[in-house]
Structure 1
Amino acid sequence: MDWTLEVIVVPVSDIARSIGFYRDKLGFVQDFETDSGGVHFTQFTPPGSGCSIVFGNGPGMSAMQPGSLKGLQLVVSDVKAAREELIGRGAEVGDVTVFDERDGGTFFGFDDPDGNSWAVQQIKARADKPLIPRS
């Protein structure tokens, strides 16, 4: 049986500001947005990912304090190119750190406007063998 992780709730304080950050500064794809009857939430998916994030004031989305989610991790095949892409979009990111010279040991990080923290890990093997096949 497959168990797929498909959505993570990210606690934010300002939905519009967060939409701008995840869409414009990170380049995540906005899958949908609902704003009706006092409920406002949206879903974004990083390019190439099988897992999305949601944020807003929908059911169950206020259990965590904005900025309290730490250690979300993205994986890319070229961490330097990914970092430069985010900088080019206007995102503030940390320096590249090599914890281990083997594939998988190189990272940089960034925070969203509320302080939710993200790590970006380089796994060069993903360039030729992505987890989700490209069509």
Structure 2
Amino acid sequence: MDYSLEVLTVPVSDVDVSLAFYKSLGFAVDVDYHPRDGFRVVQVTPPGSACSIQFGEGLTEAAPGSAQANYLVVQDLAAAHAELVARGVAVGEIRHKAPEDMLAAGLDPERRPYASMAVLTDPDGNTWTLQEVPRTTGG
């Protein structure tokens, strides 16, 4: 049996502020459905992703900002970081895994998959870790 992760729900306090933030990341707006007061669904998809993110009103009882340690994978972390900064998004410094599970400044010198990361936070405090997984060739 195959399973495909399609949507993650992120709790937010202000749908319009969150929509503006995720659009600033370059995410495509798939759905903005508001059929009645007290219920709204917004679904956005990161470029190149098969999984979308949804938020809105009346979707979850989780506290805004409680979605922590979510990961977005990018092929080139330095390029993604620079693009987000150019868009005006506050992104943490690039760090990489060092011996004994410590984090050191900058990209992993060997550019190992899953070794380099930077964190960004949405307006409610939900966190997203950008993690570098370079595309491999061959094989």
Quickly name the TM-score band, shorter chain normalised: 0.7 to 0.9
Q: Which residue of 2 aligns with 1:123?
A: 133
Q: Which runs of 5+ in 2 are unaligned?
A: 99-107
1:82 and 2:80 correspond: yes
1:110 and 2:108 correspond: no
1:53 and 2:63 correspond: no
Name the aligned partner's letter for residue 109 of structure 1. V
**Rounded Cα–Cα distance in structure 2 between residues aligned with 1:37 and 1:22:** 23
Q: Encode CA deviations 1:12-55: one digit per residue, 9 max, x unaligned.
A: 000000000001x2110000111121221210000000100100
- TM-score for both structures, normalised by structure 2: 0.85
**Rounded Cα–Cα distance in structure 2 between residues aligned with 1:81 and 1:106:** 13
Name the aligned partner's letter for residue 32 of structure 1. V
**Rounded Cα–Cα distance in structure 1 between residues aligned with 2:53 and 2:73:** 15
Q: Quick check: 62-71 or 100-109, which moved more?
A: 100-109
SS in 2 for 1:124: coil
Within-5 A mapping of 1:1-135: 1-23=1-23, 25-38=24-37, 39-58=39-58, 61-100=59-98, 101=108, 102-125=112-135
Deviation at 1:109, TM superposition (A): 0.6
Deviation at 1:103, TM superposition (A): 2.3
Q: Which has the larger radius of gyration?
A: 2
How many residue pairs end up in the alignment? 125
Runs of 4+ in 1 over 3 A off after TM superposition: none
Q: Which runs of 5+ in 1 are unaligned?
A: 130-135
Larger relative strand fraction? 2
